[in-house]
Amino acid sequence: SLPQSPFLLCFLFLLLSIADALLACPTRCTCKRYEVDCSNRGLITIPTNIPFDTKSLSLNNNKLSTLQFLTLANLTTLEKLDLSNNYLDQLPVNVFNDVGNLIDLNLRNNSIRSLDKKIFYRTINLQRLDLSVNGISQIPLDLFDEMQNLTWLSLKGNRMQSLERAAFEPMVHLQYLLLGGNPWECDCSLRDFKHWMEWFLYKGGKLDGIECSLPKDLRGKDLRVVPVEMFNYCEKPPPVQTTSLSPMLDPTMHTQCIRQRYRPASVRRAIGTVIIAGVVCGIVCIMMVVAGAYGCIYASLMAKYHREKGIKNGKGKEKERCSNA
């Protein structure tokens, strides 16, 4: 017989609801143990009845344009989330706040144009992040500050022209970085990142090609092989003392306000400079060798001259003594 107590009835109903929620599988998805596959289903929203204990959720190849914070908030055990090949545009700042166990996040091939600097603040366990083939033009300076465990990052196929070195320094365990397919402007804005890039490669990191689109002299060149000397023009000029005149009347202040114009350095000119310097050094070395040899020969001749002179003087004195005797 069924229990008569209203409290017990409510308790049993609650248990059945929880069990049903745990065991349920969305109608248009397939479920296997802790994996839920909702890919290629033409979904425009994320199903709300995804099991709470899901560890892997595939929502790729759908028509998602927004993400519901409340839906993902219930998936606290989620470790892998695939949202690639959708129409996601603006991601809510707190959308990933409650999926702190997330290890692998795939946002490839969406319409993401910008990212809030706090969007990944709670995903501290993330190891793999794919942001490729979107419309991202800039990486916020603090975006990766809490992602020290990230080992693989792809930013390929976006609209980025420059990168800040400080944005990548927090990722101390990063091993693979993909940056190809962006319209990189290899000017002063990439100088500091190039220094970080060389350090990253030195410690064993893997980096794909960074093809320069500008300036003209470097178009098609890989930033990895562009000499650091090409960025010497980026050095800041020494500060100029100003007078007590107002900025509008002070010519030195006016000069400081003018932005330094980019002066492209030619690779051919740089190589020519190295060759000329080598030739000059070679000529100097040859002249030093010749001078040294001449000095040795001169010293040898002078020694021989003084020796012969000494012998001659000695014979003359001996002859004079014989005559006097």
The model's pLDDT over 91-150, given as tens digits with 9 standing for 90+, comes to 999 999 999 999 999 999 999 999 999 999 999 999 999 999 999 999 999 999 999 999
pLDDT at 36 over 90: yes
Strands (E), the chain: 30-32, 35-37, 56-58, 80-82, 104-106, 128-130, 152-154, 176-178, 184-185, 206-207, 212-214
**Which pLDDT does position 79 carry in this prediction?**
98
Looking at 3.80.10.10, 3.20.20.70, 3.90.245.10, 3.40.190.10, the CATH number of the domain 23-234 comes to 3.80.10.10
The model's pLDDT over 147-156, given as tens digits with 9 standing for 90+, comes to 999 999 999 9
Query: What's the N-to-C CA distance of the chain in angstroms?
Result: 162
CA distances from 244 to 51, 237, 252, 253, 257 (A): 72, 21, 11, 10, 16
How many angstroms separate the CA atoms of 179 and 206, rounded? 11
**Residue boundaries of the structural domains of the chain:** 23-234
The model's pLDDT over 39-85, given as tens digits with 9 standing for 90+, comes to 999 999 999 899 999 999 999 999 999 987 678 888 999 999 999 99
pLDDT at 258 over 50: no
Picking from 86, 122, 83, 78, the residue whose alpha carbon sits closest to that of residue 103 is 78
Which carries the bigger pLDDT value, residue 51 or residue 238? 51
pTM score of the predicted model: 0.68
How many angstroms separate the CA atoms of 107 and 182, rounded? 17
Which band of pLDDT confidence, cut at 50, 70 and 90, is reported for residue 265?
A: very low
CB-CB contact of 9 with 3 (8 Å): yes
